[in-house]
A = this chain, B = another copy of it.
Amino acid sequence: MVLSMSLVVQKYGGTSVGTVDRIKDIAGRIAAVTRDNHRIVVVVSAMNHETDRLMMLAHEISAQPDARELDLLLSSGERTTIALVAMMLKELGVKAQSFTGRQVGIFTNSAHTKARIERVVADRITAALEHKFVPIVAGFQGINEQSDVTTLGRGGSDLTAIALAASLHADRCEIYTDVDGVYTADPRIVPTAKRLDCISYEEMLEMASLGAKVLQDRAVVFAANHQVRIVVKSSFANGSGTKVIKEHKGMERNAVSGVTYDRNQAKVTLVGVPDTPGIAARIFDPVAQANIIVDMIIQNIGQDAMTDVSFTVTKDDVSRAIEVMNCVAQEIHAKRVEVTRDIAKVSLVGVGMRAHSGVAAKMFVVMANEGINIMMISTSEIKISCVIEEKYVETAVELLHREFELDKAVR
């Protein structure tokens, strides 16, 4: 009888490889998997703080470092880790070999610092697996057509792992991080928050883009498109983690799966805008041109054919957004530009919303009872977000968690 051997892709983030001792720990973990006769591919990030160190060097030289050179610079971080992990495994008697983004065959477009994966040609990885090696792969990096190094943006190692799992038809992709799964809310705010056993790609995506930094959002989209089974686990503790899988009926038992929040928000308001046709395009075209991502937009009904237009951006983009709006305001004869920085977004996420009605109404009642003013609202099929004053974040998250009985969540 021939037992088919499973193939697992494991990804270890920066804290999981942050010191030589941590590297020893994960090497032991990897060695155990190989003893169980599973085939395994390991993707690693740069050691904790290493990317920051390199970024600081770059910024000592230039306020806006050249993107091609920045990619080369940052790619050193993961190269260091793969060499050290491979050495450690050999020290433990495990056959292992390191592979850079180029050696793996991660081909990307040329959008330096945020490149998109175009194809994965993992021939060397397949060959290494056939020869019973554990391939140790540098996350976050690839090469473009010119054979120049590119990087995949913040959290890009997740994308490397998932793309490689898809290309190799792996049984699953395990993402090791410093939390032991996805929770119904941030446990630092809600001590009774529960770990979810499973979550759908769509929910995970909403959570990722809403600020729960467990998984890169682009990686989740890639996983959903290629049906890669993900498990989010802690590299510091044992436990079954949270599975990120295709949505199924049982997931709709609860209306809401989790409460998330995002403090990285700011509101820009253009006051006194002449209410003429086509005015929205004249406001938001320049914003898009400046590569600023707008989240929510709201237009207040004003007087005298005048209106106020507000929108939210991340705090990083706010100063550029003000620059752009000052120009726009002059052009379209708006009165002035106002900015509010002390805001945050609180959201409910759940595929159950499709089956349960009244979720939004209940959310608004909770806020109203506490006297929390809702400044903006946006919804999708499986998400409701409210912008509120930043000081109310903890209160809102706690109340919503209790109201939707997430401390009793079992999935």
Contacts and interface: CB of A to CB of B under 8 A. Distances in A.
Given A73-B79, A79-B73, A84 B98 contact: no
B72 A88 contact: no
A20 interface: yes
Interface string A4-22: 0000000000000000100
Given A20-B57, A62-B91, A87-B61, A72 B76 contact: no
Interface string A42-84: 0000000000001001101110011011101101100110111
A100 interface: yes
B66 A86 contact: yes
A90 interface: yes
Which of A60, A72, A86, A97: most chain B Cβ within 10 A? A72
B75 A87 contact: no
Copies per assembly: 2
Contacts of A80: 54, 57, 73, 76
A230 interface: no
A84 B66 contact: no
B70 A90 contact: no
A147 interface: yes
A101 to B, nearest CB: 12
B83 A70 contact: yes
A70 B84 CA distance: 8
A295 to B, nearest CB: 32
Contacts of A76: 76, 79-80
Interface string A141-155: 000000111000000
B57 A103 contact: no
A23 interface: yes
Contacts of A60: 20
Could you say which of A66, A90, A97 has the most chain B C-beta atoms within 10 Å of its C-beta? A66
A103 B149 CA distance: 10
A90 B62 contact: yes
B91 A68 contact: no
A86 B57 contact: no
A248 to B, nearest CB: 43
B82 A62 contact: no
Nearest to A136: B69
Contacts of A66: 86-87, 90
A143 to B, nearest CB: 10
A232 to B, nearest CB: 28
Contact of A84 (B57, B84, B102): B57
A23 B57 CA distance: 11
A344 B141 CA distance: 49
A73 B83 contact: yes
The 5 closest A-B pairs by CB, nearest first: A73-B83, A76-B76, A69-B83, A20-B60, A72-B83
Interface of A: 20, 23-24, 54, 57-58, 60-62, 65-66, 68-70, 72-73, 75-76, 79-80, 82-84, 86-88, 90-91, 97-98, 100, 102-103, 147-149
Given A70-B83, A75-B79, A102-B147, 11 more contacts: A61-B87, A61-B88, A61-B91, A66-B86, A66-B90, A69-B82, A72-B83, A72-B100, A73-B84, A79-B79, A100-B149
